[in-house]
């Protein structure tokens, strides 16, 4: 080619692929199967959504009026049941006059969790802040000091209980999980075996059996005369359960650390615990954050099981609120939808946060 | 190196001592026995010490707990031992797969519970796999509505506790469905009401055993056909349909077996009686609620497992296969699916285990699974430790068995690397 | 040109609505011709050769391979892919199959070749790239250079008329580049029509009939290696050569 080179400027394509209409065409009517599916699904939506909208919104009763709800039964949702019963659902059997206490305690706890998620607050005083928040929580809930009325732990319930059990068991299970994971990878056969037995035993049985064990057997484990609070029993049960699953996740992270790092550390003269603390664990834990977040979501969902051992957290409190009340019992579905919304919001927010964290960590690693 | 010479070393004054002549006389291949130095600075000794301490600590805790337990049980008059398993149970069970009445032993009652658990678990595993795989594949659909629907399904069912979902399904069955007097029916064959779901079933006859034999023979023919097809393909390069004949053989031979066995035609068909629906096979609302709840919950997780498995196969594999001229179907079957399955199957099995363990929540709804029956037994006999141990044993066996299977599969199918 | 085995006629391609990746590309490749394509990243070189075996679609113009016009027609695409072999930067070997199985997959399933014959031909190709002893191993058990040679053998098993190389040595450790380039040079010596996107200028000087420089979607210059390296005509070409050959 002997001609002089002539530069060609960029121009627009003959058929635009961006924009709403081409997107619709490609994604909804790409081929005949896709078009058929679109038509079918839209038809289905038109069939189902309007009646549901009627029930949920148009004919719904918002006021806590049992008669109005009965009258609208079948054709309209009774959201009034929430207006009427929400304080039992949210706070369980906690004495009505003192319900400002669990309210503040829960808000504090949630604020602390949210603060821990934001990078700006990752400072050394975060640990102290948590201790302060936990102390405040228990003082507010339990009372007995500062002129607050004492409230027995088996009266605690609803959302505060859910939040407390989840947060506390995650806190307590985490160090245990790290120790067990390290133990599982230990060179010493006795320690390794003990850890493996613990992990496989707990992971092989359902949480409900661990809770039964906590509920029925822990009192037997205590020395003569000592009683153990029902809340503590359940907390220990959930913590032991969560720690086994977390240990497996941490172990996955530990396995991914190249052996060269350990060799470099020992060459530099670092001891076992120093190596773990300064080199292995920071990397391993950062690597497994997404799986850990998934695990945290599972723990939050699992707290609903303590209903079975008679601690009335959110799900149990609902049963408490409605089973005995003949007037409002027919409207359980609306109440279930209410707490479904609560669980969903919390878990969905956590999973979105987990994706964000994954994105943040992924930036620093080359893929 | 001739014996008796030292390796010369560069550096000031560094000379190795002359090795003794005995070295050359030592037999080759025998590793010298190391004399153990019992000092606290030896790594081996420290290791032993730590282990001894750990074991001592565990033993001490175990002894402490056991001692307390024994004491407490004496004080409260709780007996121990498994002899209660032989005593009469005295309670009825809502649904059983084998014959049972209250006069039979606790052992038998618990066995009924185990069978009930297996029933819901196995059926649940099959259904949830189908649903989960469909939803997982649907996330890759070309249609945006299908994609969105599958995504919405996964997020909806993953973020709500399973207990709550079971309670809601049960509420649906108990509140929304009509009473048995006015059951909903489809073509007078399928009935749905508060009393459960009834569907027609053939009455068991000898001919059905023949049909089963025919089906097995058909499957054997199908297996033979597939092997033959592979052999023929390798010989000539021409592939033929590997599914039509096995399916047809299974159907035809099953039919032949049925005909040979006397062509039993009697069906038990449910019919609407004044107060209930009788006949056919009926599934209780408890069973339906547990099954549907578990299936829909676990399917969301399985869909995620399938999605990440398919995504794990890099796009370059598709491109290389395309460049070689393979069609989309061949690409999927020969390149993508084999690699994706290796990534999918271990977490999938984990989900199966989760489903089995979650079936223990049936106790809240009243479905008589092993946890529910053991719980009743526990309340009646007071043998807390033994009953909980039984529950844990049942689930442990399932889990360990599945883990062993999974380890075998992993070793067998793993992609070989350096 | 009637005896050109590949023809690009005013080919234009866009990614989305904004990125004009190929601009009025005109190219005619003769049978047995060996072409090296170079240029900065983002210039469209990989896109160009991927249009030849329909891994990329184009919006304007016409691409003809061995007389077959590439478009939407599925049969045309299949026919072209039987004649064109491709080697990728990331090898893209199938990790779950042995080396031999990687090579016999396409001949058996697309070429309807009996297994024995396919395996014999595969072993011949493996000997051609000097890796026959690894036939029963799995790809991830081999080094990068060995894997790329297997990839070349896999493409050769379909007896293609044209071979495309998309930066075949860019993902290799330096000590393995030579073994792969030697195989490609030998292939060139046997008269294979080939288009190679690469940064290895020594290879271009040794083997190419024509060197093409692309920048911002256009073919800026195309010339014999001697003319190209010693007397580059365009300013842009000179800039690029300075950067690459400067050291």
Mean pLDDT over each residue of chain A, to the nearest integer: 86
Which among B317, B326, B416 has CB closest to C140? B416
DSSP letter assigned to residue A99: T
Q: Are residues A139 and A193 in the same domain?
A: no
Dihedral, CA atoms, A79, A81, A86, A92, nearest 10 degrees?
-140
The pLDDT-based confidence of C125 (bands split at 50, 70, 90) is very high
Question: CB distance from A8 to chain C under 8 Å?
Answer: yes
Domain check: are A138 and A268 in the same one? no
Placement of tokens 């919104």 in the chain: A57
For residue B141, the chain A residue with the least C-alpha distance is A34
Chain C residues in contact with A4 (beta carbon < 8 A): 233
Q: Encoding tokens for residue C154?
A: 């896999």
Of C169, C167, C165, the residue nearest C192 (C-alpha): C165
Window 16-75 of A, Cβ < 8 Å to C? 16-19
Q: How many angstroms separate the CA atoms of A285 and A264, rounded?
A: 20
- Name the minimum distance, in Å, from the CA of C214 to any CA of chain B: 24
pLDDT at position A255 is 87
Q: Is residue A58 part of a domain?
A: no
Average pLDDT over all residues of chain B: 85
Q: Residue A357 is encoded by which pair of tokens?
A: 């964290």
Same domain, A129 and A206: no
pLDDT at residue A185 tops 50: yes
Touching check for C90 and chain A: CB below 8 Å?
no
Report d(CA B139, CA B148) in Å as an integer: 8
Most confident region among A57-71, A253-267, A332-346 by mean pLDDT: A332-346
Q: What is the pLDDT of residue B11?
A: 46
Residues A263 and A235 in one domain: yes
**Is the pLDDT assigned to residue A344 strictly greater than 90?**
yes
Question: What one-character DSSP code corresponds to residue C217?
Answer: T
Compute the nearest-CA separation of C119 from chain A (Å): 37
Provide mean pLDDT across the span A95-100: 85
Contacts of C106 (CB under 8 A, 6+ apart): B324, B325, B326, C154, C157, C158
Residue C244 gets which letter from DSSP? H
How close B10 gets to chain C, by Cα (Å)? 34
**C212 beta partners:** C37, C222
- C86 confidence band (pLDDT: 50, 70, 90): very high
Instruction: Read off the pLDDT of each residue in A203-214 and give the average, rounded to a whole number.
Output: 92
Look at residue A364 in the predicted model and tell me its pLDDT: 45
Q: What is the pLDDT of residue B30?
A: 64
> Does A205 share its domain with A306?
yes
Residue whose C-alpha is closest to residue C103's, from C76, C132, C65, C145:
C132
Express each pLDDT in C130-172 by its tens digit.
Answer: 999 999 999 999 999 999 999 999 999 999 999 999 999 999 9
pLDDT for res B29? 63
In a 3-state reduction of DSSP, which class is residue B12? Answer: coil
Q: In terms of Cα–Cα distance, which of C188, A344, A266, A249 is closest to B154? A: A344
Q: What is the interface pTM, i.e. ipTM, of the complex?
A: 0.88
Q: Is the pLDDT of residue C51 over 50?
A: yes
With respect to residue A82, please indicate whether it lies within any of the assigned structural domains.
no
Do A144 and A272 lie in one domain? The reply is no
Q: Do B142 and A208 touch (CB under 8 A)?
A: no
Which of C14, C16, C57, C59 to mutate against chain A (most A CBs within 10 Å)? C14
Cβ–Cβ < 8 Å for A139, A146? yes
Residues A209 and A116 in one domain: no
Q: Which chains touch B (3 or more CB pairs under 8 A)?
A: A, C
Instruction: Determine the 3-state secondary structure of A258 from DSSP.
Output: coil
Would you place residue C217 in the very low, low, confident or very high pLDDT band (cuts 50, 70, 90)? very high
Q: Is A206 on the interface with B (CB under 8 A)?
A: yes
Distance from CA of C230 to the nearest CA of A (A): 15
Report pLDDT for B5.
45
Q: Tell me: do A184 and A299 sit in the same domain.
A: yes
Domain membership of residue A102 as a residue range: 96-150
Chain B CB contacts of A297 under 8 Å are 159
Q: Could you tell me if A224 lies within 8 Å of chain C, comparing CB atoms?
A: no
pLDDT higher than 60, residue A249: yes
pLDDT (average), residues A187-203: 90
- Is A13 close to C14, i.e. CB distance below 8 A? yes
Contact call for A13 and C20, based on CB within 8 A = yes
Instruction: Give the mean pLDDT of A245-260.
Output: 89
Residue C2: predicted pLDDT: 54
Task: Establish if A348 belongs to a structural domain.
Answer: no
Shortest CA distance to A78 belongs to which of A344, A335, A340? A335
Residue A2: pLDDT band (50, 70, 90) is: very low
> How far is the C-alpha of A28 from the C-alpha of A24, rounded, in Å?
5
In this model, does residue C61 exceed pLDDT 80?
Answer: yes
- Chain-wide mean pLDDT for chain C? 92
Q: Based on the domain organization, do A262 and A203 belong to the same domain? A: yes
Q: Do B69 and A221 touch (CB under 8 A)?
A: yes
How many CB atoms are located within 10 Å of the residue C189 CB?
Answer: 10
B229 chain-C contacts, CB cut-off 8 A: none
Sign of CA dihedral C94, C96, C101, C105: negative
Enclosing H/E stretch for B278: strand B277-278
Alpha-carbon span A364 to A59, nearest angstrom = 53
Provide φ and ψ at B274, rounded to 5°.
Answer: -50, -40
Is A209 close to B388, i.e. CB distance below 8 A?
yes
* Nearest residue on chain A to C61, alpha-carbon basis: A14
CB pairs under 8 A between B and C: 86
Nearest-angstrom CA–CA distance, C113 and C117: 7
Q: How far apart, in whole angstroms, are the C-alpha atoms of residue A141 and residue A95?
A: 11
Q: What pTM was computed for the model?
A: 0.85
Q: Count CB-CB contacts under 10 A for residue B47.
A: 16
Angle of the B370-381 helix axis to the B384-413 helix axis, nearest 10: 160
Residues in B closer than 8 angstroms to C138, CB to CB, are 415-417
- What pLDDT score does B293 carry? 96
Domain boundary among A122, A150, A178: A150
- Which of C90, C105, C117 is the closest to B316 by Cβ? C90
Count: domains in chain A: 2
Tell me, yes or no, whether A57 lies in a domain: no
Share of chain C above pLDDT 90, in %: 78
- Nearest-Cα distance to chain C for A207, in Å, is 38
* Beta-carbon contacts of residue C77 (< 8 Å; ≥ 6 apart): C54, C70
> Which CATH number fits the domain that encloses residue A184?
1.10.3720.10
A177 and A299 belong to one structural domain: yes
Is A344 in Cβ contact with B156 (below 8 Å)? yes
- Cβ of residue A293 closer than 8 Å to a chain B Cβ: no
Minimum mean pLDDT range among A61-65, A277-281, C206-210: A61-65
Residues whose CB falls within 8 Å of the CB of residue C163, separated by 6 or more in sequence, listed in order: C84, C85, C86, C87, C155, C156, C187, C192, C193, C194, C195
pLDDT band at A221 (very low <50, low <70, confident <90, very high): confident
Q: b/e string for B249-274 if b means 16 or more Cβ within 10 A?
A: bbeebbebbbeebeebeeebebebee
* Tens-digit pLDDT profile for residues A30-53: 888 899 999 999 999 999 999 888
* Residue A248 included in any domain: yes
pLDDT for A274 equals 84
- Please, what's the largest Cα pairwise distance for chain A? 103
Is the pLDDT assigned to residue C26 strictly greater than 50?
A: yes
Cβ contacts (< 8 Å) between A8 and chain C: which residues? 23-24, 217-218
Same domain, A211 and A283: yes
Helices (H), A54-124: 66-72, 80-91, 100-117
Residues 124-163 of B with CB under 8 A from C: none
In a domain, A261, yes or no: yes
pLDDT of residue B418: 65
Q: Give the residue from A150, A184, A216 where a domain finishes.
A: A150
Q: Please indicate whether, in this complex, the C-beta atoms of C106 and B334 are within 8 angstroms of each other.
A: no
Of C81, C116, C140, the CB nearest to B323: C81
Asked whether residue A89 is assigned to any structural domain, the reply reads: no
Torsion of CA A101, A105, A108, A114, to 10 degrees: -140
**CA–CA distance, B270 with B198 (Å, rounded to integer):** 6
Task: Collapse the DSSP code of C212 into the 3-class scheme (helix H, G, I; strand E, B; otherwise coil) and give the result.
Answer: strand
Question: In this structure, are A270 and A180 located in the same domain?
Answer: yes
C140 min Cα distance to partner chain B (Å): 5
- Where residue A206 falls among pLDDT bands split at 50, 70, 90? very high
Q: With a cut of 50, list the residues of chain B below it in pLDDT.
A: 1-11, 13-15
């Amino acid at each position: 080619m002997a001609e002089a080179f002539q530069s060609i400027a960029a121009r627009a394509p003959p058929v635009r692929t961006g924009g709403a209409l081409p997107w619709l065409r490609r994604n909804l009517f790409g081929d005949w199967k896709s078009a058929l599916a679109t038509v079918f699904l839209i038809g289905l939506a038109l069939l189902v959504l309007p009646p549901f909208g009627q029930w949920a919104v148009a004919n719904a009763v918002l006021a806590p009026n049992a008669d109005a709800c009965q009258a609208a039964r079948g054709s309209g949702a009774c959201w009034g049941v929430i207006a009427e019963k929400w304080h039992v659902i949210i706070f369980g059997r906690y004495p009505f006059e003192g319900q400002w206490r669990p309210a503040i305690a829960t808000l504090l706890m949630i604020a602390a969790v949210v603060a821990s998620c934001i990078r700006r607050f990752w400072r050394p005083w975060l640990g102290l802040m948590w201790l302060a928040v936990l102390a405040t929580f228990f003082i507010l809930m339990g009372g007995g000091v500062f002129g607050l009325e004492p409230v027995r732990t088996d009266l605690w319930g609803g959302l505060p209980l859910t939040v407390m059990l989840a947060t506390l068991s995650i806190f307590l299970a985490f160090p245990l999980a790290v120790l067990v994971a390290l133990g599982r990878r230990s060179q010493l056969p006795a320690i390794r075996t003990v850890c493996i037995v613990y992990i496989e035993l707990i992971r092989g049985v359902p949480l409900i059996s661990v809770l039964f064990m906590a509920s029925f057997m822990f009192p037997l484990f205590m020395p003569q005369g000592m009683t153990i609070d029902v809340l503590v029993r359940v907390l220990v049960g959930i913590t032991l359960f969560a720690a086994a699953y977390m240990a497996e996740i941490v172990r996955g992270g530990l396995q991914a650390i190249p052996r060269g790092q350990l060799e470099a550390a020992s060459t530099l003269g670092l001891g076992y615990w120093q190596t773990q603390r300064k080199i292995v664990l920071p990397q391993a834990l950062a690597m497994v954050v997404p799986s850990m977040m998934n695990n945290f979501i599972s723990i939050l969902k699992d707290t609903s099981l303590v209903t079975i051992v008679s601690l009335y957290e959110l799900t149990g409190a609902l049963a408490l609120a409605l089973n005995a009340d003949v007037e409002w019992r027919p409207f359980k579905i609306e109440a279930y939808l209410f707490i479904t919304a609560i669980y969903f919001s919390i878990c969905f927010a956590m999973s979105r946060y987990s994706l964000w964290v994954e994105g943040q960590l992924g930036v620093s690693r080359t893929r | 190196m001739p014996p008796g010479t030292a390796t010369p070393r560069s550096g000031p004054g560094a000379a190795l001592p002359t090795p003794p002549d005995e070295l050359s006389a030592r037999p080759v291949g025998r590793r010298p026995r190391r004399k153990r130095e019992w000092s606290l600075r030896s790594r081996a000794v420290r290791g032993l010490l730590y282990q001894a301490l750990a074991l001592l600590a565990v033993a001490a805790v175990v002894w402490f707990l056991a001692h307390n337990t024994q004491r407490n049980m004496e004080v409260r008059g709780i007996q121990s031992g498994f002899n209660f398993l032989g005593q009469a149970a005295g309670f009825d069970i809502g649904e059983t797969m084998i014959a049972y009445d209250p006069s039979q032993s606790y052992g038998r009652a618990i066995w009924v519970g185990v069978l009930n658990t297996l029933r819901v678990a196995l059926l649940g595993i099959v259904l949830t796999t189908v649903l989960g795989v469909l939803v997982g594949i649907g996330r890759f659909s070309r249609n945006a509505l299908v994609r969105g629907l599958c995504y919405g399904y996964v997020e909806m069912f993953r973020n709500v506790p399973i207990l709550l979902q079971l309670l809601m399904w049960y509420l649906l069955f108990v509140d929304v469905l009509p009473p048995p007097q006015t059951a909903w029916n489809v073509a007078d064959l399928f009935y749905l009401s508060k009393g459960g779901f009834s569907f027609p079933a053939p009455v068991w006859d000898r001919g059905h055993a023949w049909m089963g034999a025919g089906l097995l023979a058909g499957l054997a023919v199908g297996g033979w056909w597939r092997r033959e097809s592979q052999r023929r393909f390798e010989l000539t390069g021409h592939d033929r349909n590997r599914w039509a004949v096995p399916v047809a053989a299974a159907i035809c031979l099953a039919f032949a077996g049925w005909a040979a066995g006397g062509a039993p035609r009697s069906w038990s068909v449910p019919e609407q009686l004044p107060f209930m629906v009788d006949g056919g096979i009926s599934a209780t609302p408890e069973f339906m609620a547990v099954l549907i709840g578990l299936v829909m919950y676990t399917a969301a997780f399985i869909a995620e497992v399938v999605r990440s498995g398919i995504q794990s196969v890099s796009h370059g594999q598709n491109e290389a296969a395309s460049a070689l001229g393979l069609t989309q179907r061949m690409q999927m079957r020969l390149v993508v699916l084999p690699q994706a399955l290796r990534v999918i199957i271990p977490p999938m099995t984990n989900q199966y285990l989760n489903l089995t363990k979650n079936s223990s929540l049936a106790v809240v709804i009243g479905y008589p699974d092993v946890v529910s029956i053991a719980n009743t037994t526990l309340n009646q006999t007071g043998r807390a430790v033994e009953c909980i141990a039984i529950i844990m044993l049942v689930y442990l066996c399932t889990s360990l068995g599945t883990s062993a299977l999974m380890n075998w599969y992993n070793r067998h199918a793993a992609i070989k690397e350096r | 040109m009637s005896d050109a085995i590949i023809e690009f006629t005013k080919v234009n391609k866009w990614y989305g609505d904004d990125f004009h990746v190929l601009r009025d590309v005109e190219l005619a490749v003769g049978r047995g011709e060996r072409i090296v394509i170079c240029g900065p990243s983002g210039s469209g070189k990989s896109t160009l050769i991927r249009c030849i075996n329909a891994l990329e679609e184009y919006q304007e113009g016409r691409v003809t391979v061995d007389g077959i016009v590439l478009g939407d027609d599925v049969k045309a695409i299949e026919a072209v892919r039987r004649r064109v072999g491709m080697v990728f930067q990331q090898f893209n070997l199938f990790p779950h199959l042995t080396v031999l199985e990687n090579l016999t997959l396409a001949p058996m399933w697309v070429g309807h070749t009996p297994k024995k014959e396919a395996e014999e031909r595969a072993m011949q190709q493996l000997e051609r790239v000097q890796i026959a002893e690894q036939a029963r191993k799995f790809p991830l058990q081999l080094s990068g250079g060995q894997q790329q040679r297997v990839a070349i053998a896999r493409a050769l098993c379909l007896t293609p008329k044209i071979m495309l190389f998309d930066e075949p040595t860019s993902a290799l450790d330096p000590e393995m580049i030579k073994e792969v380039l030697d195989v490609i040079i030998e292939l060139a010596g046997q008269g294979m029509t080939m288009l190679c996107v690469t940064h290895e200028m020594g290879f271009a000087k040794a083997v190419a009939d024509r060197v093409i420089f692309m920048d911002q979607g256009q073919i800026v210059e195309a010339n014999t290696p001697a003319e190209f390296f010693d007397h580059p005509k365009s300013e842009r070409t000179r800039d690029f050569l300075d950067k690459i050959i400067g050291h």
